[in-house]
Amino acid sequence: MPVIYMTGFGNSFETEALAGALPVGRNSPQKVNYGLYAEQLSGSPFTAPQATNQRTWLYRIRPTVRHTGRFQKVDPGFIRTAPAHDKTDLPIGQLRWSPTPIPKKSLTFITGLFTITTAGDAEAQTGMASHVLIVTKSMEREHFFNADGEFLIVAQQGKMRFCTEFGVIEIEPGEICVIPRGVIFRVELINGPARGYVCENYGGAFKLPDRGPIGANCLANARDFLCPVAAYEDIEKPHTLTVKWGGELYRTKVPHSPLDVAAWHGNYYPYKYDMRRFSPVGALLYDHPDPSIYTVLTSPSDTPGTANIDFVIFPERWAVAENTFRPPWYHRNLMSEFMGLVYGVYDAKAEGFLPGGASLHNRMSAHGPDAETCERASKAALEPHKIKDTMAFMFESRFALSLSEYALHAAELQPDYHEAWQNIKRRFPRQKA
């Protein structure tokens, strides 16, 4: 299938892999060209306001209602969903994991999802989960969709191909892919095993944040988001379809490829974004802006200005502020922060936070630069400095994040992370009694 994209975020698109497959002036005509079936995929309630109403018409070889046999519950592996059913821990303090090694055993996108944290309630459509993703095997005649939420996948190592109902998306380290709730897809490897991070959003769909006083430009620009053009498979062989629903996995057989959409139009579709196209803004004279200025996408909550999830990145950028401690300052935060490092070095940590690793600072848990970084930054010459060859990210949520059993007992959990701050020096002069 060709990998061709259309550009723009939130726009309504139309695309066809066969000339004339798209009905003109009708969404669900009595007869569609080529004998296709019309099917609507709705990502919002029918009565949602126009600005947030999401739906797409799919014109496919067979409707998705056709499958053989009932859905059977299967082992979810290491996938967990909020509220998690197994014993979990709500950690107080700072936690960090080393990169998860890529094993020799076969792991597909489904079996290679390892839940680290959960929060909220998927049934109530609030909260999120964070996962580490390890893929060593392409999915073959095997497909998946998530009824609990949308996936935001951050590629960290290796390239991945997402073959979806809407077309094909390929991502590499430094890029993300968002698969909306209910969209059927499979994942293939391109250049060997892949590793990444996944944010599972139970709440409102990700959207671009309001820029406020920043105005119309900078941050993530809509034109840099890409969605696929129509590309269909006409394969009459048995396929497997796995569904994540209510925190469980269910599986059935489909007698043909479910990726059989020859044309579609609408505003509900998967998309990709190259994080290296993000346009950072910052302080040009002094002071340290809040990390919210690095927000790429946000899932809003029912409280204005308080996100269900913010997806925040820390890319290449210039630091130029005068008389300012330039790394992220020490702070305690109402929001919980799950961080990962795609490549390079994160400017707030001297060592221990490695590409492929992760950290968790739950709400009101104090964190900030380690002792070595603090000492170096306090003495640094405040000349213009470019932070180069780096890409870190953060899944930030209003909810406290609970650990999965896997994360709590993982060999990669660093038991001495809290010691990164033990050597912070006293600078205040001692007063005479």
Q: pLDDT per residue over 119-163, tens digit each? A: 999 999 999 999 999 999 999 999 999 999 999 999 999 999 999
| Tokens linked to 228 | 């696929």
Predicted confidence band at 257 (pLDDT cuts at 50, 70, 90)? very high
Using CA atoms, how far apart are residues 378 and 259, in angstroms rounded to an integer? 56
Predicted confidence band at 66 (pLDDT cuts at 50, 70, 90)? confident
Enzyme catalytic residues? 288
Residue 116: C-alpha distances to residues 90, 199, 207, 410, 414 (Å): 12, 10, 24, 10, 14
The answer to whether 269 and 206 have CB atoms below 8 angstroms apart is no
SS3 track for the chain: CCCCEEECCCCCEEEECCCCCCCCCCCCCCCCHHHCEEEEEECCCCCCCHHHCCEEEEEECCCCCCCEEEEEEECCCCCCCCCCCCCCECCCCEEEECCCCCCCCCCCCCCCEEEEEEEEECCCCEEEEEEEEEECCCCCCEEEEECCCEEEEEEEECCEEEEECCEEEEECCCEEEEECCCCCEEEEECCCCEEEEEEEECCCCCECCCCHHHCCCCECCHHHEEEECCCCCCCCCCEEEEEEECCEEEEEEECCCCCCEEEEEECCCCEEEEHHHCECCCCCCECCCCHHHHEEEEEECCCCCCEEEEEEEECCEEECCECCCCCCCCECCCCEEEEEEEECCCCCCCCCCCCCCEEEECCCCCECCCHHHHHHHHHCCCCCEEECCCEEEEEEECCCCEECHHHHHCCCECCCHHHHHCCCCCCCCCCCC
- The burial class, CB within 10 Å (0-12 / 13-18 / 19+), for 191 is exposed
How many CA atoms are closer than 13 Å to the CA of 173, on its beta-carbon side?
18
* Res 245: pLDDT: 96
Instruction: Work out the average pLDDT over 329-340.
Output: 93
Using CA atoms, how far apart are residues 347 and 288, in angstroms rounded to an integer? 14
Centroid of chain to Cα 122: 16
Mean pLDDT for the chain?
Answer: 94
Residue 376 backbone dihedrals phi, psi, to 5 degrees: -65, -45
pLDDT in tens, 191-201: 999 999 999 99
pLDDT above 60: residue 210: yes
pLDDT above 70: residue 248: yes
pLDDT above 80: residue 365: yes
**Residue showing tokens 């599986």:** 251
Whole-prediction pTM: 0.95
Task: Quote the percentage of the chain above a pLDDT of 90.
Answer: 81
| Tokens linked to 176 | 């993300």
* Res 1: pLDDT: 57
pLDDT above 70: residue 237: yes
Residue 404: C-alpha distances to residues 252, 305, 340, 421 (Å): 27, 28, 17, 26
Which of 68-72, 173-177, 414-418 is the most confident on average? Answer: 173-177
**Which of 35-39, 76-80, 310-314, 323-327 has the weakest average pLDDT?**
323-327
Residue 221 backbone dihedrals phi, psi, to 5 degrees: -95, 140
* Res 87: pLDDT: 66
pLDDT above 90: residue 348: no
pLDDT in tens, 74-113: 999 999 999 986 667 777 789 999 999 999 999 999 999 9
pLDDT above 90: residue 433: no
The answer to whether 151 and 199 have CB atoms below 8 angstroms apart is yes
pLDDT above 60: residue 56: yes
How many CA atoms are closer than 13 Å to the CA of 124, on its beta-carbon side?
11
Instruction: Work out the average pLDDT over 179-198.
Output: 98
The answer to whether 241 and 148 have CB atoms below 8 angstroms apart is no
Using CA atoms, how far apart are residues 164 and 181, in angstroms rounded to an integer? 12
pLDDT above 60: residue 408: yes
Instruction: Work out the average pLDDT over 23-48.
Output: 93
Using CA atoms, how far apart are residues 312 and 315, in angstroms rounded to an integer? 10
Using CA atoms, how far apart are residues 114 and 80, in angstroms rounded to an integer? 8
Predicted confidence band at 294 (pLDDT cuts at 50, 70, 90)? very high
Structure-derived torsion over alpha carbons of residues 39, 42, 43, 46, reported in degrees to the nearest 10: 170
* Res 68: pLDDT: 81
Using CA atoms, how far apart are residues 407 and 91, in angstroms rounded to an integer? 11
Predicted confidence band at 402 (pLDDT cuts at 50, 70, 90)? very high
- The burial class, CB within 10 Å (0-12 / 13-18 / 19+), for 424 is middle
Strands 5-7, 225-228: parallel, antiparallel or unpaired by DSSP? antiparallel
